[in-house]
């Protein structure tokens, strides 16, 4: 009988204990849901922060790439403008060589003719490798994009009206861009 009583008491305790565990589980489930909500909130907050930081990083990289591209373009422009300035400085030397060649045409000094022509050709070939080109103006139609009219002269014939009759100063382009307009006389 004592054993029966003990068994009954143990069964009663077990029943009471199970009920208590169920209540604890319900409270724990509420706590789990609350913790899950907090975890989701923290995860969403961290995800937003990560997205913001990634966006800031991408913008910064884009700005840096733009800066790098712009600075390299500026360097190229600086080098090309320095080259253009140097070549512009050499144009009077070319003019002097052309004048000397014209003066020596009537001379009997062949050595002076050959020497001057050699210097002119070497200088001109070098400048051509750098992108310099002569503006061909004589006999062409007057074009304000390449020619600068010094004066107008009555055209000797109708077909020379509006065309270049004489070139006073040779014009040049550097890589397709005019660095000095050809000074010309235009037929009227």
pLDDT, tens only, 36-94: 888 889 999 999 999 999 999 999 999 999 999 999 999 988 887 788 888 899 999 99
Q: In the beta sheet, which residues pair with residue 186?
A: 152, 164
pTM of the complete model: 0.57
Q: Is residue 85 part of a domain?
A: no
| pLDDT-based confidence at residue 20 (cuts at 50, 70, 90) | very low
Number of domains in the chain: 1
Q: Which domain holds residue 143?
A: 131-188
Residue 143 lies in a domain: yes
Residue 188 lies in a domain: yes
Task: Please check the confidence at residue 135 and state whether its pLDDT lies above 70.
Answer: yes
Token pair of 149 as six digits: 């009219």
In a domain, 7, yes or no: no
Burial code (b: 16+ CB inside 10 Å, e: under 16) for 117-145 equals eeebeeeeeebeeebbeebebeeeebeee
Per-residue pLDDT at 81: 78
Give the CATH number of the domain where residue 151 resides.
2.30.22.10
């Amino acid at each position: 009988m004592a054993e029966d009583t003990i068994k009954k008491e143990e069964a009663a305790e077990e029943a009471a204990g199970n009920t208590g565990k169920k209540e604890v589980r319900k409270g724990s489930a509420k706590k789990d849901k609350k913790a899950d909500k907090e975890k989701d909130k923290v995860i969403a907050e961290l995800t937003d922060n990560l997205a913001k930081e990634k966006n800031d990083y991408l913008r910064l990289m884009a700005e840096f790439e733009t800066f790098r591209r712009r600075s390299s373009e500026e360097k190229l422009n600086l080098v090309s403008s320095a080259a253009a300035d140097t070549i512009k400085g050499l144009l009077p030397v070319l003019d002097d060589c052309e004048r000397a060649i014209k003066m020596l045409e009537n001379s009997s000094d062949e050595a002076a003719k050959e020497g001057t022509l050699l210097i002119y050709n070497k200088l001109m070939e070098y400048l051509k490798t750098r992108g310099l080109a002569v503006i061909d103006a004589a006999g062409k139609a007057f074009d304000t994009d390449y020619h600068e009219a010094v004066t107008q002269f009555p055209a000797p014939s109708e077909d020379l009206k509006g065309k270049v009759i004489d070139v006073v100063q040779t014009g040049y382009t550097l890589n397709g861009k005019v660095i000095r307009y050809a000074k010309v006389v235009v037929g009227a």
